Amino acid sequence: MLHEGRPFVTTTGAVELWHRACFDRRADPIDVLPSTIVPELAPPPSRTPRVIVLAVAASALAGLGFAHWRLGGGMPLAASYANVELAPEPLPAPRTTTVTEVAPPRPLHIETQLEARYPMPTLDGDDLDSVYPSLRGWTHPVTASAELMPELRSRQFGVGRAGVEGRPECGAGHCGVDLDGPRGRRLVSVADGIIVRIERAELGADGKSGRYVRIQHSDGTLTAYMHMDDVADDIQTGDKVFGGQYIGTLGATAVGNTPPHLHFSLELPNKVGDKGDIRDTHYIDPAPFLVRSTIVKSAQRRHAVKPAS
Ligand SMILES: [Zn+2]
Instruction: Please tell me the number of Cα atoms within 13 Å of 274 on its side-chain side.
Output: 13
Query: Is residue 191 pLDDT above 70, yes or no?
Result: yes
Q: CB neighbours (10 Å) of residue 198?
A: 20
pLDDT band at 21 (very low <50, low <70, confident <90, very high): low
Distance CA 83, CA 80 (A): 8
- What separation in Å is there between the alpha carbon of 225 and the centre of ligand 1? 10
- What separation in Å is there between the alpha carbon of 249 and the centre of ligand 1? 16
- What separation in Å is there between the alpha carbon of 220 and the centre of ligand 1? 22
Whole-number pLDDT of residue 146: 94
67 CB contacts (<8 Å, ≥6 apart)? 77
Whole-number mean pLDDT of the chain? 78
- What separation in Å is there between the alpha carbon of 240 and the centre of ligand 1? 25
Whole-number pLDDT of residue 60: 45
User: What are 123-130's contacts with CB under 8 Å, separation 24+?
Assistant: 123/272, 128/288, 129/289, 129/292
Residue 56's Cα: distance from chain center in Å? 56
For residue 49, cis peptide bond before it (omega within 30 degrees of 0): yes
pLDDT above 70 covers a percentage of the chain that reads 62
- What separation in Å is there between the alpha carbon of 280 and the centre of ligand 1? 21
Whole-number pLDDT of residue 53: 44
Whole-number pLDDT of residue 122: 95
C-beta separation of 247 from 187 below 8 A: yes
For residue range 45-80, list pLDDT tens digits in order.
444 444 444 444 444 444 444 444 444 444 444 444
For residue range 88-139, list pLDDT tens digits in order.
555 556 555 555 667 666 554 556 889 999 999 999 999 999 999 999 999 9
- What separation in Å is there between the alpha carbon of 175 and the centre of ligand 1? 7
Report domain extents, the chain. Answer: 119-290
- What separation in Å is there between the alpha carbon of 153 and the centre of ligand 1? 12
- What separation in Å is there between the alpha carbon of 185 and the centre of ligand 1? 17
Three-state SS string over 242-299 comes to CCCEEEEECCCCCCCCCCCEEEEEEEEECCCCCCCCCCCEEEECCHHHHCCCECCCCC
Radius of gyration from C-alpha coordinates of the chain = 42
- What separation in Å is there between the alpha carbon of 138 and the centre of ligand 1? 20
* Top-tier CATH class for 119-290: mainly beta
pTM: 0.64
- What separation in Å is there between the alpha carbon of 296 and the centre of ligand 1? 22
Strand order in the sheet with 51-53: 6-9, 15-18, 51-53
- What separation in Å is there between the alpha carbon of 102 and the centre of ligand 1? 51
Phi, psi torsion values for 70, nearest 5 degrees: -65, -25
Distance CA 67, CA 61 (A): 10
Whole-number pLDDT of residue 307: 75
Which residues are 223's β-sheet partners?
A: 215, 266
Q: CB neighbours (10 Å) of residue 79?
A: 12
Q: How far apart are the first and last CA of the chain?
A: 107
Whole-number pLDDT of residue 12: 67
- What separation in Å is there between the alpha carbon of 265 and the centre of ligand 1? 8
- What separation in Å is there between the alpha carbon of 174 and the centre of ligand 1? 6
Which residues are 195's β-sheet partners?
A: 215
- What separation in Å is there between the alpha carbon of 286 and the centre of ligand 1? 12
- What separation in Å is there between the alpha carbon of 177 and the centre of ligand 1? 5
